[in-house]
Amino acid sequence: MRTATLLGTVLAIILVSAPAWAHFGMAIPSSDEATPQEKTLTVTFSFSHPMGGEGMELVQPKQAGVMFEGEITDLLGSLTQTQVMDFPAWAVDYTFARPGAYSFFMEPQPYWEPAEDVSIIHYTKVIVPAFGGEEGWDEPVGLPTEIVPLLRPFGNYAGNVFVGQVLIDGAPAPNAEVEVELYNQAGYTLPTAYHETQVIFADENGVFVFACPKAGWWGFAALSEAPYTLTDPDGNEKGVELGAVLWTYMHDYQ
């Protein structure tokens, strides 16, 4: 009995002290640009641990849309259910009409995470250029929290330094914590569990930088605590983690 208790205690300590996998809202288009030959792209919204390749269920989002030239088009009614990493996800086919930068975004339903004792809401976006245009890539959508890129978020190479600014209610978020992961479609292995999620802090103006060493989709999740609570499955009021998530693609040199 004493041995079993000791083993249970040791296991609990290991689980608590081990690095926690980061959660990421995901917004991944079927191509990182729209062209005259490929005017219609599929944007897929999901929820996962992208570096570890572990999916989670994304119920139908609370909202989904695209902003172009300052105007927002509601895409919620056009979503169809799909799967990402064997878990429910949502996708929309979108046909681009004019040159410029299109900001796709989604707000999920709150996700209760018992391991962290909080609900999680990740406001997630990706910016897709069309037909050689790029105007509008640095314009915020107006989400409760979001990352505004300061490096153009397309047409970049692996090794480039990504620069972004974290906003909360439209104002810079000083010292925001930002988690970074690669969508590990290439199947890279990790030296240690700590290597799954990179962690950096923004400066006093909410600006952060990160060099992306590999080609692929990179996700940046700026975390903050909501000024409100939500009820957990047992009806208790618990805190809410807000995430401002932005995805950008880095290409290899050919």
Q: Is the CB of residue 143 less than 8 Å from the CB of residue 163?
A: no
Cα(88)–Cα(101) distance, rounded to whole angstroms? 28
Q: How confident is the model at residue 6 (pLDDT cuts 50, 70, 90)?
A: very low
Residue ranges per structural domain of the chain? 22-251
Report the C-alpha gap between 195 and 184 in whole angstroms: 12
Give mean pLDDT, residues 223-249.
Answer: 97
pLDDT at 5: 40
- Of the pLDDT bands very low, low, confident and very high (cuts 50, 70, 90), residue 22 is confident
Per-residue pLDDT of 38-66, as tens digits, reads: 999 999 999 999 999 999 999 999 999 99
Residue 123 and residue 111 in contact, taking contact as beta carbons nearer than 8 Å: no
CA atoms in the 13 A half-sphere facing the CB of 35: 6
pLDDT for 9: 38
> Is the per-residue pLDDT at 72 higher than 60?
yes
3-class secondary structure per residue, 115-147 = CCCEEEEEEEEEEEEECCCCCCCCCCCCCCEEE
pTM for this one?
0.91
pLDDT at 21: 63
| pLDDT tens string 169-223 | 999 999 999 999 999 999 999 999 999 999 999 999 999 999 999 999 999 999 9
Cβ atoms of 148 and 141 closer than 8 Å: no
Model confidence at 71, pLDDT cuts 50, 70, 90, reads very high
The pLDDT-based confidence of 112 (bands split at 50, 70, 90) is very high
On the question of pLDDT at 2 being above 60, the answer is no
What pLDDT is recorded for position 20?
52
pLDDT exceeds 80 at position 7:
no
Q: Would strands 156-157 and 240-251 be described as parallel, antiparallel, or unpaired?
A: parallel
Region 140-148: what's the mean pLDDT? 98
Question: What confidence score (pLDDT) does residue 14 get?
Answer: 34
Spatial neighbors of 83 by CB under 8 A, at least 6 apart, are: 89
Task: Provide, rounded to the nearest whole percent, the portion of the chain with pLDDT above 70.
Answer: 92
What token pair was written down for 21? 């996998």
